[in-house]
Amino acid sequence: MALKLSDYKTDVHNDWCPGCGDFGIVNAIQMALAEINIPRHKAAIFSGVGCSGKTSHFINVFGVHTLHGRVLTFAQGAKIANPEMTVIAAGGDGDGLGIGAGHFVAAGRRDVDMTYIIFDNGVYGLTKGQASPTLKLGEQTKSLPKPNTNYNVNPIGLAVTSGFTFVAQGYSYDVRHLKDLIIAAIQHKGLAFLNVLQPCPTYNDINTRDWYAGIDQVDEAQKRHSRIYKLEDQKYDPVVHYDEESELNEKLSQALIKSLEWGNKIPIGIFYKNELISQYSERLIDKIPNYLENPPANQAISSKGKPITDVSKILDSFEV
């Protein structure tokens, strides 16, 4: 029996602020799971700590609300031990690009087949609005006593240069587009990164919903121009089609240049996609040929309470 969207929702009370961009992201994840109809026990959402960390409690699949900054480590461990699971990691930009930045880079290099979604709002909401890694230098959001003294991280650029093989950006108020991006990310073979621009109505009074909608950008005809535009509308081709350095370099640099767009025009969509690089499971298969048929989580280790692993050859070599 096909599962309905409601099957992926829990009845846990959601305590995010009214108007929070997080709602759109949770809805998009639930819609994506329902659309590709993943059995509930075959999916796991791992989340970090912060407002977005609560995401896993609202989705009716396995939910692991982890530690601040460490969500990728838990998620990779689970996926590697049980590659049959669909694994989605989620967390804030402070979680993933501040305290967890080292794991972000390392995960890119590893390319485990899963999806990582960053809720990018420029502030640490749950601790009352401090500057997060994506806030621009010199900006002063509502609760900051002084302007931000750090340069911002470029999440898309960092992902592209860290080895992520699918890099995309969504906007939390364009839920349908976001849902499609999540499906593409899940179906990508390798580690997919999805940065979601998400207004924090309580603490980020700069990058607001109105700001993204461009109400301050009015032309001579009094027409508003949204800051957000879609890469696919511009015939942007993110895919690395063949395994040659020139092709790879072209697609990487094109994504990097696009990632720098901010201000009046902000792109969403898929920036970069490369399935020609081996994902982690393939690298494991090179060493352990039956890894996928007999992964750690499925292995029999005992019979009637006794071990069945035969180490006699190793012990023979130690015998004197």
Partner 1 sequence: MNSVDLTWLIGGPQGSGVETGANIFSRVCAEMGYQVFGKREFYSNIKGEHSYFVLRVSNKKIHSNLNDVTLMVSFDAETIFRHYDEVISGGALIYDSDLENTTSDEVHTLDQHFKSRLHKELEAKNKPFTITGVLELTKEKGVNLYPVSFRSILSNLADDTKNPKLKGLIRMFNVIGVSLSLGLLKMPPDSLLKSIGTIFAKKPKVAEINKKAANYSYNLATAQFNSFNYSLPGTTKEPHTILVQGQQGTAIGKMVCGCRFQSYYPITPASDESMFLEEHEILEIEGDRPGSTVVIQTEDEISAIGMMIGSALTGTRSSTSTSGPGFSLMAEALGYAGINEIPIVITLFQRSGPSTGLPTRHGQDDLLFVINAGHGEFPRIVYASGDIEESFYDTGRCFNYSDVFQIPVIHMMDKFMSSSVVTCKRFDPDKVTIDRGKLLDKIDGNDYRRFASTDDGISPRSKLGLENGIFWNTGDESDEYGHISEDPFERVKMMDKRMSRLGLIIKKIPKEDQIVTFGVHDFTIISWGSPKGPIIDALDMLKNENINVGFIQFKLLHPFPTEHTKSLLKDTKTIIDIEANYTGQLGQIFKQNLGRDVDYFILKFTGRGMTSTEIYDSLKKIIENKAKKREVLTHGA
Contacts of 135 (CB under 8 A, 6+ apart): 122, 123, 141, 148, 150, 152
Alpha-carbon distance of 182 to 107, in angstroms, equals: 18
Largest CA distance in the chain: 92
Shortest distance, position 51 Cβ to partner 1, whole Å: 13
DSSP state of 224: B
Rank residues 11 and 233 by Cβ distance to partner 1 and give the closer one: 11
Residues in the chain: 320
Rank residues 32 and 80 by Cβ distance to partner 1 and give the closer one: 80
- Rg of the chain on CA atoms, in Å: 21
Give the sign of the dihedral formed by CA 69, CA 161, CA 272, CA 74.
negative
Shortest distance, position 169 Cβ to partner 1, whole Å: 25
Residues that bind partner 1 (CB under 8 A): 10, 12, 39-42, 44, 46, 49, 54, 56-57, 60-67, 70, 72-82, 84-85, 102-103, 105-106, 284, 287-288, 290-291, 293-297, 299-303, 305-311, 313-315, 318-320
Q: Helix/strand/coil (H, E, C) string of 164-225?
A: CCEEEEEECCCHHHHHHHHHHHHHCCCCEEEEEECCCCCCCCCCCHHHHHCCCCECCCCCEC
Shortest distance, position 192 Cβ to partner 1, whole Å: 18
Rank residues 103 and 273 by Cβ distance to partner 1 and give the closer one: 103
Alpha-carbon distance of 159 to 231, in angstroms, equals: 18
Alpha-carbon distance of 60 to 10, in angstroms, equals: 5
Shortest distance, position 32 Cβ to partner 1, whole Å: 18
Shortest distance, position 49 Cβ to partner 1, whole Å: 7
Helix (H) or strand (E) holding 269: strand 266-273
Rank residues 66 and 195 by Cβ distance to partner 1 and give the closer one: 66
Rank residues 92 and 199 by Cβ distance to partner 1 and give the closer one: 92
Report CA 38 to chain centroid distance, whole Å: 18
Rank residues 1 and 315 by Cβ distance to partner 1 and give the closer one: 315
Using CA atoms, how far residue 320 sits from 310, 311, 313, 314, in Å, is 19, 16, 13, 12
Shortest distance, position 189 Cβ to partner 1, whole Å: 19
Rank residues 62 and 262 by Cβ distance to partner 1 and give the closer one: 62
Shortest distance, position 141 Cβ to partner 1, whole Å: 26
Shortest distance, position 173 Cβ to partner 1, whole Å: 26
Rank residues 143 and 161 by Cβ distance to partner 1 and give the closer one: 161
